[in-house]
Amino acid sequence: MLWDVFCRVVDNFGDIGVCWRLSADLAERGHAVRLWVDDPSALRWMAPEPLRPANIQVLHWDAQVQEPGDVVIEAFGCNPPDAFVARMQRPVPPVWINLEYLSAEPWVERCHGLRSPVMSGPGKGLSKWFFYPGFTAATGGLLRETGLMAARQAWQANHRQHRAQWAASLGIKPPSPDTLWLSLFCYEPAPVGALLDGLAASGAAIQVLVTPGFATDLARQWQAAHPPVSTLSLHELPPISQAEFDHLLWACDLNFVRGEDSAVRALWAGQPHVWHIYPQDDGVHAGKLDAFMDRWMAGWPDDLAHEVRGLWLSWNGLRPAEAGNFAALPSLLNDPRWAASQGSARQRLAEIPDLVTQLCGFVSDRR
């Protein structure tokens, strides 16, 4: 089928990150995709041209309107251009789907799959379907492209060699074998100073792979205010492709991720992780964070869940973040139960049909 995916870049990289991953997954399965985006600039590093599937066309939002395809995906309620919607008015209109943001909250299950009649504007009389990603079988599931888990297992089978090769490809010289590898991808308010103070105080051999933007800015601020610490090394990464970003998450012993797409990739990576949820002024993100922790840490040993929840709350500014919280990280990571619990939680998720498989079924039922 031909899919028209509409993406408006609000801020950060998640909108385009999710829409690209969706488009690439559809294309890998043989569908044709037109990705309409108002600001495609991030794709230059996120999905370098030579790596892009041939059957994805990236079009500027205002490009010449074409005959709508079989399916229209309106990502995150971005309202496709009126001229395009007007063209959807035809005897057999495309299936129009609003792909929503990811949340672990219970209400998602009640809203997933509902139809909404369009009451006004160029789409008047058409139907829009609400498709919610999620963490249960009663939702649309999570993006998980075919072959991901097999590729992850292949890497894991030879973890140390693969991560050394990957790091070398980025010019990172391999640290001593006992070094803990951490990745850092966060928003502005993250307590990176407290984290680095804690890691320095722990005395453990640690290297932190710092992503561009807020993480790099905050790490540089800390470095400017602190003398070098022999056991703690920080490496600034360039922007890397989504495929390489996965390898970052697979290589590290602990991943600090944020938003939506990198958060899901950390779940599939299966390494212990800390999630910086997209902060919202009215504080609703706190409920979203709790809802996810409830699901993800269900069944974990109580003391471990308590420790990791405390870490997540500190990281999200929902609990005071002292260096002490983070000084305990190396010993917490040495507890094999965290990685084991992460693995069983991932297995539960991997049993839910992936988002694109569900989306294709959903569309077929409505065509």
Based on CB atoms, which residue is closest to ligand TRH, 38 or 335? 38
275 touches ligand TRH (CB under 6 A):
no
What is the rounded distance in angstroms from the CA atom of residue 247 to the CA atom of residue 249? 5
Long-range own/partner contacts, residues 150-159 (CB < 8 A, 24 or more apart) = 152/250, 152/268, 152/269, 152/270, 155/247, 155/250, 156/250, 156/270, 159/250
**Selected range binding ligand TRH among 9-17, 23-31, 85-93, 282-290, rule: CB under 6 A:** 9-17
Based on CB atoms, which residue is closest to ligand TRH, 222 or 278? 278
247 touches ligand TRH (CB under 6 A):
no
235 in helix, strand or coil? strand
List 3, 17, 140, 321, residue binding ligand TRH (CB under 6 A): 17
What is the rounded distance in angstroms from the CA atom of residue 139 to the CA atom of residue 306? 27
Q: What is the DSSP string of 286-311?
A: HHHHHHHHHHHTTTS-HHHHHHHHHH
List 23, 98, 202, 242, residue binding ligand TRH (CB under 6 A): 242
**Selected range binding ligand TRH among 11-19, 56-64, 109-117, 305-313, rule: CB under 6 A:** 11-19
Question: Shortest CA distance to 73 belongs to which of 88, 90, 62, 83?
Answer: 88
Angle between helices 148-157 and 242-251 (to 10 degrees): 40
List 74, 253, 260, 354, residue binding ligand TRH (CB under 6 A): 260
210 touches ligand TRH (CB under 6 A):
no
CB 207 within 8 A of CB 181: yes
List 15, 197, 307, 354, residue binding ligand TRH (CB under 6 A): 15
Which x/- pattern over 40-79 shows residues binding ligand TRH (rule: CB under 6 A)?
Answer: ------x---------------------------------
240 touches ligand TRH (CB under 6 A):
yes
What is the rounded distance in angstroms from the CA atom of residue 324 to the CA atom of residue 329? 9
CB 85 within 8 A of CB 17: no
List 23, 183, 207, 211, residue binding ligand TRH (CB under 6 A): 211
By CB under 6 A, name the binding residues for ligand TRH. Answer: 10-15, 17, 46, 101, 185, 211, 239-242, 245, 258-262, 278
